[in-house]
């Protein structure tokens, strides 16, 4: 789910965490209404969005980044992100897989790229991964427009 209009903020149901893994500042229409006598100012909204977009990706986040809610439904269980990593729900219950947060997502991608260039490791995020990722994004749009399921053809297992 992505909401670019500034109404409902997914941070409300994500423990108040921002897209970079830090506590999110209070924002949205309810804050604007309280602070501006009920009037929404389009110029102020645009300025706030530009200020948020201009910030660099911070390092050393205490939690994982959240861009919204992602739920993965699989044959044997379900997966969702958590502030510490992933929650895996299966017939045995719920298990949290914790992952470190001491490095920014940008650092991890740059390290992967550097290792692939130097021949130290194969890139996980290669062209096939990019095609599979793009296919999911385009299928989500098509599914929304057609109100129907869309078959995926480019999905591949990620080497680990």
Tokens 């095609």 sit on residue: 131
- Compute the average pLDDT of residues 30-51: 57
Report whether pLDDT(30) > 90.
no
Question: Residue 54 has which token pair?
Answer: 């201009």
- State the pLDDT confidence band at 100, using cuts at 50, 70 and 90: confident
Classified as helix, coil or strand, 50 is helix
Q: Which of 99, 105, 16, 100 is nearest to 59 (CA)?
A: 105
Model-level pTM greater than 0.85? no
Q: What is the pLDDT of residue 75?
A: 87
Neighbour-count burial of 17, counting CB atoms closer than 10 A to its CB (0-12 exposed, 13-18 middle, 19+ buried): buried
Q: How remote is the C-alpha of 1 from its chain's centroid?
A: 9
Radius of gyration from C-alpha coordinates of the chain: 19
Torsion angle, CA of 129/107/103/69, rounded to 10 degrees? -40
């Amino acid at each position: 789910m992505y909401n670019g209009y500034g109404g409902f903020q997914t941070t409300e149901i994500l423990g108040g965490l921002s897209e970079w893994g830090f506590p999110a500042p209070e924002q949205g229409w309810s804050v604007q209404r309280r602070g501006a006598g009920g009037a929404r100012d389009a110029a102020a909204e645009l300025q706030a969005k530009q200020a948020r977009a201009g910030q660099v990706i911070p390092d050393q986040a205490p939690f994982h980044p959240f861009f919204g809610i992602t739920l993965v439904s699989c044959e044997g269980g379900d997966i969702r992100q958590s502030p510490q990593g992933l929650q895996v729900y299966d017939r045995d219950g719920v298990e949290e897989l914790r992952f470190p947060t001491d490095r920014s997502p940008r650092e991890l991608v740059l390290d992967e790229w550097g290792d692939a260039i130097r021949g130290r490791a194969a890139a996980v995020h290669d062209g096939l991964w990019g095609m599979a990722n793009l296919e999911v994004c385009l299928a989500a749009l098509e599914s929304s427009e057609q109100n129907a399921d869309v078959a995926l053809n480019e999905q591949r297992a990620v080497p680990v």
